[in-house]
């Protein structure tokens, strides 16, 4: 077959193939062209300390032994001239020498390869923070994280002690401390009986909505001890001074003018004794005109009554101490503190933390020596008939009874786990 005929035959084949393919393609649907769109994920804004953290490279750490503001900044590539400039500008708002070991800090840096520090944030505690902002002009200020209070309810039956009962429910033992303080003059929490029952309406505190910061306050409580009912309701008696106290359902004060002890969950290691022999002084008779409460170093020491601080000082024998004048009759003193928390002239309320247990001065172990004056003479407070706390004034009594009415109903409706019936007090209301 010559080449001309081959070429003609090939053309015919191509024409036939084109016709067949064209007919088949007409019968089929045209393919859909799908265009894929790339989703752009925008990170959710995360705000802390008033800054959008997505705008920065965030470094977090804690102050270590030997650290200073200068050392921390130098580790993050800030030179001493700039460090000095920041310190000088910020000194009226924050003393950079007061950084404490173990406290957290955050550095906000630029989001580039240099990661240049723009802001230093120091947290002296979980609620407060101090900002040294040097992005443009240098300025410093202090602020607090947002706090949320959540009301909660709990009931329990004593099998051993109240702390164990609360622990089984996953509730902080601080609630037991607060309850023992409220009922300090009506119930001895060291002698609770099996079968005693309680209900509490309290608030928990959260920082930044999620960080649990412990039990804040008790609004109302009910305690059934030895088959006797004890109600307690918190009520503000002086809005100007911010004074509040706990009263029962009949508006009677649950407290006395003085707390029994300046520390919680106390153990008396030495009582008031005018003929006590002291080993520290060669076993000679030396009058001990105070009551020693043994406690761990750092335990909060609380004012046993409202008053004004007249001394906050150090002496060789007393160590760090505080003295409070309550009125023209009574004064109290608190010795051997690790550190004071009040200044002369400051007004304190019953239960305020005025210092922490330590071992300063002449002492052989950690404790607070509590001294009590009546008419300028030191006496044993446990042998004194101390005055009652001030009752609710007649002008406030009606408002108080109206205020506690819904709280009492709320308490009475809280059920015990071992008993589905309402409390005895609720039955007496005719419900």
Q: What is the pLDDT of residue 272?
A: 64
- Ranges of the chain whose pLDDT falls below 70: 1-42, 265-267, 269, 271-287, 418-431
CATH number for the domain spanning 273: value is 2.70.70.10
Quick: pLDDT tens for 152-161. Answer: 999 999 988 8
Residues 375, 276: one domain?
yes
Domain termination residue (choose one: 247, 280, 296): 247
Q: What is the pLDDT of residue 343?
A: 95
341 within domain boundaries: yes
Residues 130, 152: one domain?
no
Contact 186, 232 (CB under 8 A): no
Residues 232, 327: one domain?
no
Tally helices (H) and strands (E) across the chain. Answer: 7, 24
Measured CA to CA, the distance from residue 316 to residue 333 in angstroms comes to: 15
Domain termination residue (choose one: 340, 367, 383): 383
357 within domain boundaries: yes
Range of the domain at 288: 267-383
Q: What is the pLDDT of residue 393?
A: 82
Residues 374, 318: one domain?
yes
Residues 134, 188: one domain?
no
Residues 82, 164: one domain?
no
Dihedral over alpha carbons 172, 174, 175, 176 (to 10 degrees): 110
408 within domain boundaries: no
Residues contacting 230, CB < 8 A, separation 6+: 183, 186, 187, 222, 223, 224, 248, 254
**Nearest CA to 371 among 284, 273, 235?**
273
Residues 131, 194: one domain?
no
Q: What is the pLDDT of residue 153?
A: 94
Let me know the angle formed at the C-alpha of 84 by 81 and 88, rounded to the nearest 5 degrees: 140
Looking up tokens 């412990």 gives 214
Q: Which secondary structure element, helix H or strand E, spans residue 257, and what is its range?
A: none
123 within domain boundaries: yes
Phi, psi of 411, rounded to the nearest 5 degrees: -60, -45
393 within domain boundaries: no
Domain termination residue (choose one: 126, 144, 162): 144
Residues 88, 156: one domain?
no
5 within domain boundaries: no
Residues 321, 282: one domain?
yes
What's the number of domains the chain is made of? 3
8 within domain boundaries: no
296 within domain boundaries: yes
Q: What is the pLDDT of residue 338?
A: 95
Residues 90, 107: one domain?
yes
CATH number for the domain spanning 72: value is 3.10.450.350
Q: What is the pLDDT of residue 388?
A: 72
Q: What is the pLDDT of residue 405?
A: 96
Measured CA to CA, the distance from residue 67 to residue 71 in angstroms comes to: 6
């Amino acid at each position: 077959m010559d080449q001309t005929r081959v070429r003609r035959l090939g053309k015919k084949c191509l024409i036939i193939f084109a016709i067949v393919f064209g007919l088949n393609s007409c019968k089929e649907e045209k393919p859909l062209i799908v265009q894929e769109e790339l989703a752009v994920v925008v990170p959710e804004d995360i705000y802390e300390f008033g800054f959008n953290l997505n705008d920065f490279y965030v470094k977090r750490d804690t102050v270590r032994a030997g650290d200073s503001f200068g050392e921390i900044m130098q580790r993050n590539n800030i030179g001493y001239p700039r460090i000095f400039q920041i310190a000088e500008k910020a000194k009226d708002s924050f003393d950079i020498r007061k950084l404490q070991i173990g406290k957290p800090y955050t550095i906000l840096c630029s989001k580039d390869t240099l990661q240049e520090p723009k802001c230093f944030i120091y947290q002296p505690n979980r609620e407060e923070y101090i900002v040294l902002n040097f992005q443009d002009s240098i300025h410093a200020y202090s602020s607090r994280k947002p706090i949320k209070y959540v009301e909660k309810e709990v009931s329990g039956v004593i099998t051993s002690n109240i702390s164990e009962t609360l622990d089984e429910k996953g509730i902080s033992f601080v609630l037991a401390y607060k309850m023992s303080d409220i009922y300090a003059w009506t119930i001895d929490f060291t002698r609770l009986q099996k079968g005693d029952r309680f209900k509490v309406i309290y608030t928990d505190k959260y920082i930044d909505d999620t960080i649990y910061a412990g039990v804040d306050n008790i609004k109302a409580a009910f305690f059934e001890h030895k088959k006797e009912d004890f109600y307690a309701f918190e009520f503000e008696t002086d809005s100007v001074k911010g004074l509040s106290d706990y009263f029962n359902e009949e508006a009677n004060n649950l407290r006395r003018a003085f707390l029994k002890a300046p520390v919680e969950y106390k153990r008396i290691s030495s009582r008031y004794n005018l003929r006590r022999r002291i080993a520290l002084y060669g076993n000679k008779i030396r009058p001990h005109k105070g009551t020693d409460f043994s406690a761990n170093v750092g335990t909060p020491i609380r004012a046993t009554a409202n008053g004004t601080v007249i001394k906050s000082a150090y002496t060789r024998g007393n160590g760090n101490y505080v003295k409070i004048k309550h009125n023209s009759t009574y004064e109290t003193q608190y010795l051997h503190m690790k550190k004071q928390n009040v200044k002369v002239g400051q007004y304190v309320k019953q239960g305020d933390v005025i210092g922490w247990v330590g071992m300063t001065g002449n002492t052989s172990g950690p404790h607070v020596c509590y001294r009590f004056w009546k008419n300028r003479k030191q006496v044993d407070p446990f042998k004194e008939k101390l005055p009652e706390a001030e009752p609710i004034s007649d002008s406030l009594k009606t408002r108080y009874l109206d205020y506690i009415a819904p709280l009492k109903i709320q308490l009475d409706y809280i059920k015990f786990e071992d008993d589905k019936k309402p409390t005895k007090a609720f039955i007496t209301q005719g419900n």
